[in-house]
Amino acid sequence: MRVFQITALLTTITAAFAYINYRFLKLQPTVGLMLQSLLFSLLLWLLLALGIDVMTPAQRIMSRIDFDVLFLQGILSLLLFAGGLFVKVEELLNVKLSIALFAVAGVLVSAGAIGAGFYAITLLLGLKVGLAQSLLFGAIMSPTDPVAVLPILRSHGIPDRLNSWIAGEALFNDGIGIVLFLTLLAVAQGTAQPTARMVFDTLVTQAAGGIAFGTVLGWSGYLIIKTVDNYRLEILITLALVLGGYSLALLAGVSGPLAMVVAGLLIGGRGRKLAMSEHTREHLDQFWDLVEKYLNAILFTLIGLEVLVLSNRLTLVHVSTGLMVIPVVLLGRFLSVLAVGGLVRLREPFSLRDATIMTWSGLRGGIAIGLAMSLPRGQGLHILVMATYIVVLFSILVQGPTLGRLLNRR
């Protein structure tokens, strides 16, 4: 099947699942879409057991979709820009130091804690997974997913300070996590020497470069938009800003995700206030809200269907490892939040309840799947892919639906 046919089929399936969820299931959109995708995959397995093989053509279609390229080099740029566009910049600036600590130090502490826990589990199960590969898994699990958590935060009235911590961390720790992942991947493959200086230099170059590039990109977009008063053209400019800017960031060797977040914050903050009419703001918000919801729907349908690709490598050991890793990931997240929270308390209030909410709101989604699917094949790393998938399922199907109740508790 060609790209257009695959896109058409995926959009049709997503629309059908979204309709069923809206009319009958009435679950959160991400949960409803992923759950139906999983049930659809299970139905194909059942039909195969009954002698009706529709699994093979379905697997063939799914194998044509390069998830990590589609997400990390495509969908992610649009979603991060949209996330930055709808965040209140003033509230982020009020807690900018805390956000920086959670996004950088939090990711590093979490990666170490989760990696150590994963290594202990593999030793317990007798699996041949090295410490470098375990830390690689920690890097995959450490970034929280703004795609999954931001829509939930928008629908619940939680304190501005806590909301800004969670939203800001989720937006910025993706870039840090991806850089850490690429660094540890080079170490695991033996193409780089594992020195603290190398990790530090890579993080600084990628992160600082991404933020600087995003600032230039966002400011340039603001100046251009300021010279026109045509909402169609202004929307087109923002779209070109994202697609062209992300491609240039990747070519320049800086963090594309961080560049998109910063550009989105600038356009959504200064650009929205000083360069757009009320008419333009209304249409711009409608456009990017639609883009965000459409891509989210496609993404979570894809995550549910991805089990068709992974099913050939699914074993009881993989499932056991994934289930055992879930509490390790939660504990690693909790420890990292507590550690950083101790520093945050020197400047502003930080309670155990704050730590609990930040731990449970640390959802994993497309970013974790995309990083795991980008791992080289045939190097014994498939256990990391399966464990990642199981943790993401738990995150979206359990943490996501219950997060609202936790946020509403006083």
The distance from CA 194 to its chain's CA centroid, rounded to whole angstroms, is 26
Q: Residue 36 is encoded by which pair of tokens?
A: 């139906």
CA separation for the pair 217, 248 (Å, rounded): 10
Phi and psi for 347 in degrees, rounded to 5? -115, -35
Give the count of beta carbons closer than 10 Å to the beta carbon of residue 58.
18
Residue located via tokens 């059942």: 46
CA separation for the pair 323, 387 (Å, rounded): 8
Q: Is the pTM of this model over 0.85?
A: yes
Determine the average pLDDT of the residues in 74-102. Answer: 92
Is residue 137 within 8 A of residue 130, CB to CB? The reply is no
Of residues 163, 171, 152, 166, the one with CA closest to residue 400: 152
pLDDT tens figures, 48-73: 889 999 999 999 888 888 888 888 88
Give the count of beta carbons closer than 10 Å to the beta carbon of residue 146.
30
The distance from CA 45 to its chain's CA centroid, rounded to whole angstroms, is 29
For the chain, helix (H) and strand (E) counts, in that order, are: 22, 0
Which CATH number applies to 3-408?
A: 1.20.1530.20
Residue located via tokens 């199981």: 390
Is residue 79 within 8 A of residue 147, CB to CB? The reply is yes
The distance from CA 155 to its chain's CA centroid, rounded to whole angstroms, is 19
| Domain spans in the chain, listed from the N-terminal domain onward | 3-408
Of residues 246, 241, 239, the one with CA closest to residue 73: 246
One-character DSSP codes across 340-365: HHHHHTTTS---HHHHHHHHHT----
Give how far Cα 336 sits from Cα of 57, 117, 142, 351, Å. 44, 13, 10, 14
Is the pLDDT assigned to residue 157 strictly greater than 90? Answer: no
Determine the average pLDDT of the residues in 316-328. Answer: 93
pLDDT tens figures, 232-244: 999 999 999 999 9
CA separation for the pair 142, 362 (Å, rounded): 9
Is the pLDDT assigned to residue 37 strictly greater than 80? Answer: yes
Is the pLDDT assigned to residue 33 strictly greater than 80? Answer: yes
pLDDT, mean over the chain: 90
